[in-house]
Amino acid sequence: MGGGSSSYGTSATSVQLNGPAGLWLDSGGNLYVTGYYNHVIKKLTSASNAFPTIAPTSSYQTPAPTSTPVLSVVAGTSGVEGTDGDWDDATSVELKDPTSIAFDTDGNLYIADYSRIRKVSASTGIIITVAGVYNAGITQGSDNSVATSAVFCSSYGIALDSSDNLYITDDVCHSVRKLTVSSDAVSTIAGSNDAGVYGIAYGDGGQATSAYLKAPTGIALDSSGILFSQILIDISS
């Protein structure tokens, strides 16, 4: 759907979306969606709980209760593409081509934002970068013991395990990366981490770090520790 902007309390059926890419459904029945082309994260509030709860602004006015679901911006500035705004209110910063979203066990929102992972605090609404740096045209990723110094060619898909470790697909450098929360380190767990080295079904049955992937995007983790993203990766041991 082509897309203009959205404000708090806007009826969901009267708002256009622009490049919806990632979705997340929370336990309250609220649906979150990434707007790839207008660089925002929006929340479709369920009819039974029609109040935005993430990243309110100082000028935010609570809409009257309604039985109609509403769509609101929870991160980014609609139609404004950019990379600025860490340590600020999430609704006043810039995002660049967000693709995927996920929530941790504390209700914090994680956003795959071009070549970074951004985090919106559930308690304050403040957004920060937790992994990666802004890079345009990078063709070689790199791991790092400090997550915000790691290099992603692209951060596309994200998933979290029960310990809130993040798993991130890099569709440009053909890899799956892990952000270990306890150590703040980013490591490659599958693929080449190189834009020029890729393949399909190469390395099946062996170590995932020796296998080749080709532009992995979506990612999911099951309860037994099996990671799904083009290939099955057993990370339970």
Residue 115 is predicted with a pLDDT of 93
52 confidence band (pLDDT: 50, 70, 90): very low
57 confidence band (pLDDT: 50, 70, 90): very low
φ, ψ for residue 146 (rounded to 5)? -115, 115
Indicate the average pLDDT of the chain.
82
Query: What's the whole-number mean pLDDT along residues 30-43?
Result: 89
Strand ranges inside the chain, DSSP E = 10-11, 20-25, 31-35, 40-45, 70-75, 88-89, 98-103, 109-113, 116-120, 126-132, 158-160, 166-170, 175-180, 185-191, 220-221, 226-229, 231-234
pTM passes above 0.75: yes
pLDDT tens profile 195-205: 888 877 677 77
Separation between Cα atoms, residue 223 and residue 225, nearest integer Å: 6
228 confidence band (pLDDT: 50, 70, 90): confident
236 confidence band (pLDDT: 50, 70, 90): low
Separation between Cα atoms, residue 24 and residue 235, nearest integer Å: 23
Whole-Å CA distances, 132 to 95, 129, 179: 14, 7, 10
Least confident range from 12-21, 74-83, 91-100, 117-126: namely: 12-21
234 confidence band (pLDDT: 50, 70, 90): low
Query: What's the whole-number mean pLDDT along residues 151-175?
Result: 93
